[in-house]
Chains A and B, each alone.
Chain A
Amino acid sequence: MTQTIERPEVEQETRTALRPDLPWQTIVWDDPVNLMTYVSYVFRTHFGFTPDEAERRMLLVHHEGRAVVASGPRESMEAHVEAMHGYGLQATVQRSSG
């Protein structure tokens, strides 16, 4: 279980590292208040993720405490974080470590 959860993080970091033009990330943090089904539905609606992808990122948030949901220019990440705050999710902007 741990393996299948960790693998996507690695892929995400590799992708980010190969894109020096995309140095910022949107992080969604776990929050015991929000329903898992709600978080999935927000991801699908806002980011246009497939149901499987939305579920995968939601589970990352749930099990790992956080997940990267977008990478790109700082202004775009702030717009995503603002949208997540509008939905009632805990989200932050950070510089990617890659």
Chain B
Amino acid sequence: MIVASRPGAEGVRLVLESEEAMLLAELADQVDSVLLLGTPDDPAVGRLLPNAYPDDAEAEAEYSRYTRGGLRDGKRQAAQIVRDATRNEQGHPTIEVVLDEVEAWSWLTFLTDLRLILSERVGLGENGEPEDDDERDDYLRAAYEWAGFVQGSMLEVLDPMEA
């Protein structure tokens, strides 16, 4: 994968190998499914749509009522944008994605939501280390780390002061 600046413009340019594009499209589809089908007792849904008033059930119920639909739609839209951009029906060896600063946010927020879901699925604790070796799932853990690498690389381009 190549993560680079856009010559003469703000934003970021990504060049994905076909396998990377396929993996991202698949993961984006799964994030969309969690948002569409996830029930409130799924801890991953709790990470994506957290409580605004942990000590006030009534205020929280009202906050959820007014915000949950919009937050869910926004996150689904970000996942769908990534899925559509990485779809590779022609079987090209690489996929190029060029994003301005605003478009890049869909990718940044999708990668965050993906990592929040994966962290629940693989049982990561404090400091991002596995809580229990028995719960380790190599595929999910590799995806978690890779999503962090992609996001970190994008931020180095978008926000070079932080690098």
Residues of chain A having any CB pair with chain B under 8 Å: 32-35, 37-38, 40-41, 44-45, 51, 55, 78, 81-82, 85-88, 90-94
Contacts and interface: CB of A to CB of B under 8 A. Distances in A.
Given A32-B127, A33-B116, A41 B148 contact: no
Contacts of B162: 37, 40-41, 51, 55
B125 A32 contact: yes
Of listed A38, A44, A81, residue having the most chain B CB within 10 A = A38
Given A33-B116, A33-B128, A37-B152, A81 B52 contact: yes
A85 B48 CA distance: 7
Chain B: interface size category: 35 or more
Contact of A35 (B47, B148, B161): B148
* CB-based closest 10 A-B pairs: A88-B112, A37-B162, A37-B155, A82-B67, A33-B119, A32-B128, A81-B52, A41-B159, A51-B161, A33-B115
Nearest to A82: B67
B113 interface: yes
A65 B24 CA distance: 31
A82 B60 CA distance: 12
B40 interface: no
Per DSSP, are chain B's interface residues mostly helix, strand or loop, or mixed?
helix
Nearest to A36: B162
Contacts, number: 81
Nearest to B129: A32
Interface in B143-160: 148, 151-152, 155-156, 158-159
Contact of B116 (A41, A88, A93): A88
Contacts of B75: 86
A51 B97 CA distance: 27
B130 to A, nearest CB: 12
B40 to A, nearest CB: 15
A41 B155 contact: yes
B57 interface: no
B50 A90 contact: yes
Interface in B40-90: 47-55, 59, 63, 67, 70-71, 74-75
B108 interface: yes
A90 B49 CA distance: 9
B81 to A, nearest CB: 14
Contacts of B109: 86-88
